[in-house]
Amino acid sequence: MSPVRRLPLGASGPEDVRWDAAADRLLTGVADGRILSVDPAGGPPRTLAATGGRPLGLCPLPDGRLLVCDAERGLLRLDPASGRTETLLGVDGDPLWVCSNAVVAPDGAVYVSDASARFPLEHWMGDLLEHSGTGRLLRYELGAARPEVVLEGLQFANGVAVTGDGSSVVVAESGAYRLTRLWLTGPRAGRREVFADALPGFPDNLSTGPDGLVWVALAGPREPVLDLLHRSPPVLRRAVWALPSGLLPGPRPVVRLLALDAAGRVVRDLRRPERGYRMVTSVCVHAGRLYLGSLVESAVGMAELPGVV
């Protein structure tokens, strides 16, 4: 993988990055609650709106509006022209606890991941250690009163993407090193199955590239200690979570991205030791470039897509 160039934001935690095709711009949300339009040439970012919470996954809509998954406020719809947001699904009890990512299926339904019913975003490591599997995937018709739970028992439900052929929606289970598929069409419609298992790291946000591949950002490599803890009694896992945060594993300085076809086969595996950019939580492909997001950095990463002239 080519070196990663930084696009400074003056703010931390661009957790998800998306290319907004309707407006031809790169978008991200940062820890102070703002939604930013990022200049790929390196100029200063422009603030489009502030959610008042913590924006995570973004999903541009064909009408120019934007779905925002806010860990504190729920699923929002933003009008970038006016900066106004409206809450579609809240976080007070059901239906959402930690709204993580969203994608729109070919039939117009929105699929939303709800990461954990046990831990808020700032204690995401606690969910990985406890390994209780309280994540969910919900299907929501815009304008409906409530969503439908279509998958549950997920290990920290995270990124969501639709396969290039539109046949299924894929959700990342960060705590299980796994991608899970829900079939949307054909004789297996409604069936749940493993899309990709035993991944070499923690899958975070997903995106569908212009070539139909499902791109996966691995936030970090597998941790042998965590694998051992998952086979240990729950009381031991809770004891480890009670340790000071400085004693828990931190993000390693490595960038790793996978791209999978509609059958769940890995067709691209890009990696690079990158001390200048850590904990890559999202990847978006546009015009021969890779744009990277991170939960801990203060810049969007940009690299050339190998093999593209």
Instruction: Encode the chain (309 residues) as per-residue pLDDT tens digits.
Output: 999 999 999 999 999 999 999 899 999 999 999 999 999 999 999 999 999 999 999 999 989 999 999 999 999 999 999 999 999 999 877 788 999 999 999 999 999 999 988 776 776 666 666 777 899 999 999 888 889 999 999 999 999 999 999 999 999 999 899 999 999 999 999 999 999 999 999 999 999 999 999 999 999 887 765 555 555 555 555 555 454 455 455 556 789 999 999 999 999 999 998 778 999 999 999 999 999 999 999 999 999 998 854
41 lies in a domain? yes
Query: Measured between alpha carbons, how far is 206 from 209 in angstroms, rounded to an integer?
Result: 10
Structure tokens at 147: 């969503």
pLDDT of residue 299: 97
* CB of 128 closer than 8 Å to CB of 226: yes
Q: Pull the structure tokens for residue 71.
A: 């860990």
Residue 44 domain-assigned?
Answer: yes
CATH of residue 116's domain is: 2.120.10.30
Which tokens go with 172? 């990342």
Residue 57 lies in a domain: yes
| Dihedral, CA of residue 65, residue 48, residue 284 and residue 88, to nearest 10 | -40
Q: Is residue 27, in this structure, part of any structural domain at all?
A: yes
Question: How far is residue 251 CA from its own chain's centroid?
Answer: 16
- The H or E element that residue 289 is part of is strand 289-294
The answer to whether the CB of 280 falls within 8 A of the CB of 255 is yes
Examine residue 309 and state whether it is found in any structural domain, yes or no: no
What is the total count of domains within the chain?
A: 1
Q: Do residues 254 and 273 touch, judged by C-beta distance below 8 A?
A: yes
236: in domain: yes
**Sheet-wide strand order for 135-140:** 99-104, 110-114, 135-140, 148-154
Q: Where are the beta strands (DSSP E) in 130-279?
A: 135-140, 148-154, 157-162, 168-173, 178-183, 192-196, 201-208, 214-221, 254-260, 266-273
Structural domain range at position 214: 5-241+248-304
Q: What is the pLDDT of residue 121?
A: 72
- 58 within a domain of the structure (yes/no): yes
Q: How far apart are CA 293 and CA 31, in angstroms?
A: 12
Q: Two tokens at 265? A: 């086969």
Position 244 scores a pLDDT of: 46
Alpha-carbon distance 55 to 29, whole Å?
Answer: 5
User: Which ranges of the chain does DSSP label H, i.e. alpha helix?
Assistant: 124-130, 224-230, 234-241
Residue 99 belongs to a domain: yes
pTM of the predicted structure, to 2 decimals: 0.90
